[in-house]
Amino acid sequence: MELIKDHLLTPALVVDLDRFDRNLSRMAAHAREKGLTWRPHAKTHKCPEIARAQIAAGATGICAAKLSEAEVFAEAGIRGLLVTTAVIGRLKIERALRLARIAADTIFVVDHEQNARDLSDAARTAGLTLNVALDLYVGRRTGIAPGGPAVALAQAILRLPGLRFAGLQAYAGFVSHVEGFEQRRKASLEALAPAVETRRLLEQAGIEVPMLSSASTGTYNIDSEIEGVTELQPGSFLFMDLDYRRIGGRGTERFTDFEMALTVLATVVSRPEPGKAIVDAGFKAFSTDKPYLPEARDTPGVVYGFAGDEHGRLDYSQAGRELRVGDRLEFFPPHCDPTVNLYDRIYAVRGERVEAVWPVAARGMSQ
């Protein structure tokens, strides 16, 4: 029997394939137009099937936030991995070596010489060569200071056996959600200027820099204009969410470069009083890290409120329609990445037909 959306048990994570396909095509076309490689961030979807679709569309590979996430993709045959968090400690380094045996082109990042030495010692003992990029501190999280410290670390890497210098990562994640396109552009240019200067200093010192990887969904069309940036690593553009929609685009109040493709399908399970209804999707169905509430798709006037782990409370008094027990509604999530991490599978839907069921194979892989 053909699987249709109405057959899905709820809450269910659904992707609108028409919107998904258009989002993927738009990013691929942008990268081609700018002459850049793109390595989208898989922490958004955690799904090998989606990674394959991205690579088929022209991506050079994918970014993985953590080692365990990268392991899942490598076992699924995905190559061109960039592990964007440093691999620290003996146990994780041993796993990194196993990963490199499966996917030899994997790139690991470092921001400290001792970590580079630890990787070198392990690689030399194992008879391997690891690809290593510098993680630059251009944001508010990890990285080595750009300029002189970064140049010194690159020179140290070049002296260490078992390591191959792969370039630079400069991901200013905090910039991606700056509201207003011009304000975001200014913030991103300021954040990445030290990375571009570091690349210049490295090349001046005779060090080839094959890659300067940067850009988020919010800055994909900003960082791609920066001379010296070679690669884009956006993630959320495939799905989008309420947090991204609010940041504004070029000349628009809302960020509409990509379409809202990800929803949570829920069922009305109770109607305790007039104008009020309860659905079976609560804290366990949506991310709760943003100050926004899920928003009903195609049902104007319905206002969602969390009502505990398993339930959401709807006020539909201004919706102009009646909600009945058994009715099904779709909701846009506040933040797509952590919402995906709540589910075991994504239902890929075109119209009412479920074309595929994609396992979220790297769910919970945060080590």
Has residue 249 got a pLDDT over 90?
yes
Task: Please check whether residue 224 is in contact with residue 203, taking contact to mean a CB–CB distance below 8 angstroms.
Answer: no
366, part of any domain? no
How far CA 80 is from CA of 85, 213, 348, in Å, comes to 16, 13, 25
Which pLDDT value is given to residue 139? 86
Quote the pLDDT of residue 149.
98
Cα separation, 365 vs 177, whole angstroms = 25
Please list, in sequence order, all residues whose beta carbon lies within 8 angstroms of the beta carbon of residue 6, skipping any fewer than 6 positions away.
328, 352
Condensed to tens digits (0 to 9), the pLDDT of residues 7-44 reads 999 999 999 999 999 999 999 999 999 999 999 999 99
Above 90 in pLDDT, residue 297?
yes
Residue 1 has pLDDT above 80, yes or no: no
Structural domains in the chain (count)? 1
Confidence grade of residue 168 (pLDDT, cut at 50, 70, 90): very high
Q: Quick one: average pLDDT of 286-295?
A: 95
Q: Is 2 within a domain?
A: no
Distances in whole angstroms, Cα of residue 267 to Cα of each of 118, 207, 288, 312:
52, 58, 20, 10
CATH number of the structural domain spanning residue 42: 3.20.20.10
Q: 299 by DSSP, 3-state: which?
A: coil
Question: For residue range 83-111, what is the model confidence (pLDDT) as tens digits?
Answer: 999 999 999 999 999 999 999 999 999 99
Percent of the chain with pLDDT over 70: 100
Mean of all residue pLDDT scores within the chain: 97
* Upstream peptide bond of 334 is cis (omega within 30 degrees of 0): no
- Residue 170 falls within a domain, yes or no? yes
- The residue count of the chain comes to 367
Identify which of 47, 53, 49, 52 has the alpha carbon closest to the alpha carbon of residue 69: 47
Tokens 């892989």 found at: 365
- Residue 249 bridge partners (DSSP): 252
- Six-digit token string for 101: 């045996």
Is 154 part of a structural domain of the chain? yes
Cα-Cα-Cα-Cα torsion 343, 61, 242, 222, nearest 10 degrees, comes to: 170
The backbone torsions φ and ψ at residue 349, rounded to the nearest 5 degrees and listed phi first, read: -120, 135
Give the model's pLDDT for residue 113: 98
CA separation for the pair 240, 26 (Å, rounded)? 13
Asked if residue 140 is part of any domain, the answer here is yes
Could you report the per-residue pLDDT of 186-235, keeping only the tens digit for each? 999 999 999 999 999 999 999 999 999 999 999 999 999 999 999 999 99
Q: What is the tens place of the pLDDT at every residue in 337-364? A: 999 999 999 999 999 999 999 999 999 9
Determine, yes or no, domain membership for 218: yes
pLDDT at 230: 98
Which runs of E-coded beta strand occur in the chain?
Answer: 12-16, 37-38, 62-64, 81-83, 107-110, 130-135, 163-169, 212-214, 231-232, 262-273, 276-279, 295-296, 303-306, 312-315, 328-332, 345-350, 353-359
**Is 247 contained in some domain?**
no
* Average confidence (pLDDT) over 53-75: 98
Q: What is the mean pLDDT of residues 150-179?
A: 97
pLDDT of residue 140: 86
**Range of the structural domain that residue 224 is part of:** 18-238
pLDDT in tens, 298-347: 999 999 999 999 999 999 999 989 999 999 999 999 999 999 999 999 99
75-107: burial string, b at 16+ Cβ within 10 Å, e else: eeebbbbbbbbbbeeeebbebbbebbeebeebb
CA distance 287 to 183: 27
In the predicted structure, residue 120 carries a pLDDT above the cut 90: yes
DSSP track, 275-286: TEEEES-STTTS
The greatest distance separating any two alpha carbons of the chain, rounded to the nearest whole angstrom, comes to 73
Residue 130 in domain:
yes
pLDDT for 233 equals 97
